Amino acid sequence: KAGVTQTPRYLIKTRGQQVTLSCSPISGHRSVSWYQQTPGQGLQFLFEYFSETQRNKGNFPGRFSGRQFSNSRSEMNVSTLELGDSALYLCASSLDPGMNTGELFFGEGSRLTVL
C-alpha cells in the first residue's frame, strides 16, 4: 500500500511569488491535514480537510489556502511569499478524524525555501 506522497520535495521561490504543494493520501483515506514546521515555531497546524470540506483551520494568514479534491488529493497554496514562509510543509492522511480511525500517516514533506 503506497504511503502519503507529497510533491515537490524541494523548491526554491523568491519573495512575492506563490507556490502550490500537493499531497496524495493513502488509498481509502478521506482526511488530509497540513502542517508547517520551522526551527523557531516547531510544528503548527495549517488546515484539515475531510471529504472535500475544510473542517478545521489553524492561525495562519489568508495567504495560506488549501483544497481537497473528490479523489481525496489535496493541495495547499501560499501566495505573496515571505521569507518567513521558508519551512518544511507536511501533510498527513487518516481514514477520518474520528477517535478510532484518526491515526495519522505523514508524508516526507515539501521543503520550501524563500529567497
Partner 1 sequence: KNEVEQSPQNLTAQEGEFITINCSYSVGISALHWLQQHPGGGIVSLFMLSSGKKKHGRLIATINIQEKHSSLHITASHPRDSAVYICAVRLWGRGNEKLTFGTGTRLTIIP
Determine the Cα–Cα distance for residues 87 and 76; give it in Å rounded to an integer.
14
Task: Check if the beta carbon of residue 24 is closer than 8 Å to that of residue 5.
Answer: yes
What residues contact 99, with CB distance under 8 A and at least 6 apart? none
Residues between 20 and 49 with contacts to partner 1, criterion CB under 8 A: 33, 35, 37, 42-45, 48
Q: Which of 5, 13, 20, 58 binds partner 1 (CB under 8 A)?
A: 58
Q: Which stretch binds partner 1 (CB under 8 A): 23-31, 61-69, 74-82, 84-92?
A: 84-92
Q: Which residues bind partner 1 (CB under 8 A)?
A: 33, 35, 37, 42-45, 48, 55-58, 88, 90, 92, 97, 99, 102-106, 108-109, 111
